[in-house]
Structure 1
């Protein structure tokens, strides 16, 4: 699956009328930093989508730290950004990879096929000495018609049905760093450990300074997994699992789902076990 685009292609096609660039800059340590970085400089024509204000909904008892926003509200924001089914969308962040991948997954969930992630992000763009601007574009509103793709979304019940089952054919992948997976440390969530039966494949191992590693390397990261097996990826709150989802799809794995609520949702149910 073609999910990544390089900066050379984007520079060449930047001013095509059916191209829309989305800046997903964000910082988990400072929620205002992403917008500040966008205001300071961004790719010409890009509009900003914020992880917490645009790509997440209101936090409640269940659903995790970054639950899905109300779909109608998100679609309305896409329409105001001039995005419809015929728009080719290029998402980027500052080079971390996770925030752009989250936006990419959300558009895929809405059934939008023409969405790609800029390899290397804004950091790679600037290293190429490519044009930047502070201008915020004024875009013509469109109509976005969703076609929800339930095949890439995993609920808590979906995960509960396979967690810890030695006979399950579903591969559960924890995308967090090893220390959090093992429960050695947990800097964010109230409980430490991982969902029973999950294997650990840290999301950042699929990237090199913001650039996705080759398809061959991505395949080597997931040895022993049949490309046709059902895979569910998760992380802490459904953000850093998105690059693993993207890497798996790029490597030809056919059946991949994202547990969007992830570990922060899993531990919100007292009956759920942790290993």
Structure 2
């Protein structure tokens, strides 16, 4: 299953009752910016999902900076926006790719079958002169059934087990910038470095001008990783790992998981080793 939808594909579906467009714009460090941008204008009919209020849970001692949300709360939020299990979901952000991809991964974890990131994001849609609006459309409440897809999720225990056993059939990917991976600089977390055994595949390498690269280019980016491997992807807090998740799936990798707590969860355990 592909996870990417082009704006030209979405345009003729804009008024379909079977589609819900999800605005996921956000700015790390300025959490009110995304919703303010949505209020200013958005794709016609879009509903808003906030990274920290909807797509993440409360920060605690463990779990990382953007832990999994409370699933009952998220279920209620989906139902309030008229989203059922059969709804086609198309998520977009400002063009960064990471926030919309977080939505895509999270809904895939819930077991949703038809969820896509809008390639190029809101910037590409608006630049094309496609319909935008200021009205916040209300939808009739629905019922949503969660059927967790554990095959896309890597727990802390699974990552911990990997670091001690280093199985040949598993690859651990760190999605952060190289300087953070190498421990040269760390602007966010209290410790620097990476989880032992990880390889570095910077998430921005799968994108170009806000668009996911073509399949051949995505395959080339991961050419040193066998497609028969189990892949666990992480970043700082489980957000920028998401574009790598989408890119790996687009490139034809079958067994791809996100360690949602990521490095910020790993270092919350004082005894965990860091390379």
TM (norm. structure 2) is 0.98
Counterpart Cα distance in 2 of 1:13 and 1:234: 34
**Conservation of the 8 A alpha-carbon contact between 1:165 and 1:197:** no
Secondary structure of residue in 2 paired with 1:56: coil
Does 1:260 find its partner at 2:275? no
Conservation of the 8 A alpha-carbon contact between 1:66 and 1:261: yes
What CA distance in whole angstroms lies between the structure 1 residues aligned with 2:154 and 2:167? Answer: 19
1: distance between equivalents of 2:166 and 2:255? 20
Deviations 1:46-92 (A, max 9, x none): 00000001111010000000001110100100000111111000000
Match runs of 1:98-109 below 5 Å: 98-109=98-109
Instruction: String of CA shifts for 1:235-259, please: whole Å, max 9, x gaps.
Output: 0000000000000001110000100
- Per the alignment, residue 220 of structure 1 pairs with 220
For 1:259 and 1:250, how far apart are their aligned partners in 2? 19
- Give the structure 2 partner of residue 39 of structure 1: 39
Measure, in 2, the Cα distance between the counterparts of 1:260 and 1:117.
Answer: 19
Deviation of 1:166 (Å): 4.6
Query: Which residue matches 2:124?
Result: 124
Count of residues paired in the alignment: 275
**Match status 1:17 vs 2:5:** no
Task: Report the Cα distance in structure 1 between the residues aligned to 2:164 and 2:196, rounded to whole angstroms.
Answer: 5
Shift of residue 29, structure 1, vs aligned partner? 2.6
Q: Helix, strand or coil for the counterpart of 1:20?
A: strand
5 Å matches for 1:138-157?
138-157=138-157
Displacement of 1:224: 2.4
Q: Give the Cα–Cα distance (whole angstroms) in 2 for the partners of residues 20 and 170 of structure 1.
A: 36
Match of 1:248 in 2: 248
- Whole-angstrom distance in 2 between the partners of 1:141 and 1:173: 39
Could you tell me which runs of 5 or more consecutive residues in structure 1 were left unpaired when the two chains were aligned.
Answer: none
Cα 1:164–1:186 change in 2 (3 A) is: farther
Segments of 5+ residues of structure 2 without an aligned counterpart are none
- TM-score (norm: length of structure 1): 0.98
Asked if structure 2 preserves the Cα contact closer than 8 Å seen for 1:96 and 1:210, the reply is yes
Tell me which residue corresponds to 1:136.
136
RMSD over aligned CA atoms reads 0.9
How many angstroms does 1:227 deviate by?
A: 1.2
